[in-house]
Structure 1
């Protein structure tokens, strides 16, 4: 694969979590979260994002979100559970994405706010159609995702280089 080919990143916030008496890292999905994760997975399949690599936080709610969403996919991509995603800042997430092998063209990062929303805002130098307006209007609720595209290698990913192609959030 040429590094000149466009790359896509899906920034996917975990679905709605429950609040049982466990540490934040161990919080599971709520029933609503399980439903929204499945809908998000179907939406990703419908818009035709063929994921090569999934980078997922080690938190229970992100792992559950991805497990449910990826069940909708025709083929499961390679998944790496990465503890650095939990509580990561946008800058830390960019540094992590910069380590991505260039043979991965389509990557989904399943993580948490405020990092995921901040990363979507920071990377998006421009937006197609009304995707930017929709993202600004809704924020980044649980189970929302943004699809961004950029040219170059993963090492060249930096603020402002990407185009926001699509944004989706579950119904309120």
Structure 2
């Protein structure tokens, strides 16, 4: 028995992060922040919700950009999940760099073990790439070949408190995208 276990300390908690890029948006004459989903995006958002439900991940928290297309993606995906997680609409996720997204995730309460971040590229793809110190080879290959198209998601795990999340500390365990490139 290790000293940590024998002294009554608990082992660090394993946490799961799912990084989801919003579904396909339309291009009407509105500001970028106000762009709604296209018809294909609405279909893909429900499909990604079903796929997320199939992962078996228990989401405690969803952090969603305030942009219309991310909010619509979440609104159409969440009914497919077995339980609706607490949702926070965070304006800092819109147009965020990977570093800014890490800062948002570092603020996650430690009672949260599964978080879903719904955001935008290039930040979401960049974040998946820099967090993944290790990766399932199939997931890394798929991410490398496909990039991060709309409605794609990456699943990463790490051990420790949220404030310890930084580049290279997570493992990419899964990747999914709704359409062939």
**TM-score class normalised by the smaller sequence:** over 0.9
Deviation at 1:170, TM superposition (A): 0.7
CA distance in 2 between partners of 1:123 and 1:3 (Å): 22
CA-atom RMSD, angstroms?
1.0
CA distance in 2 between partners of 1:60 and 1:16 (Å): 12
Per-residue Cα deviation, 1:83-128 (whole angstroms, up to 9, x for no partner): 0000000000001100000011000000000000000000001112
- Which residue, out of 80, 101, 108, partners 1:100? 108
- Gap regions ≥5 residues in structure 1: none
Per-residue Cα deviation, 1:56-108 (whole angstroms, up to 9, x for no partner): 00000000001111110121100000000000000000011000000110000
- Which residue, out of 26, 31, 36, partners 1:23? 31
- Name the structure 1 match of 2:58: 50
Alignment partner of 1:72 is 2:80? yes
SS at structure 2 position matched to 1:71: helix
Asked if the contact 1:3/1:102 (under 8 Å) is kept, the reply is no
Alignment partner of 1:154 is 2:162? yes
Q: Structure 1 length as normaliser, TM-score?
A: 0.97
- Gap regions ≥5 residues in structure 2: 1-9
- Which residue, out of 32, 38, 50, partners 2:40? 32
Off by >3 Å, runs of 4+ in structure 1: none
CA distance in 2 between partners of 1:106 and 1:3 (Å): 17
CA distance in 2 between partners of 1:11 and 1:62 (Å): 12
- Name the structure 2 match of 1:165: 173
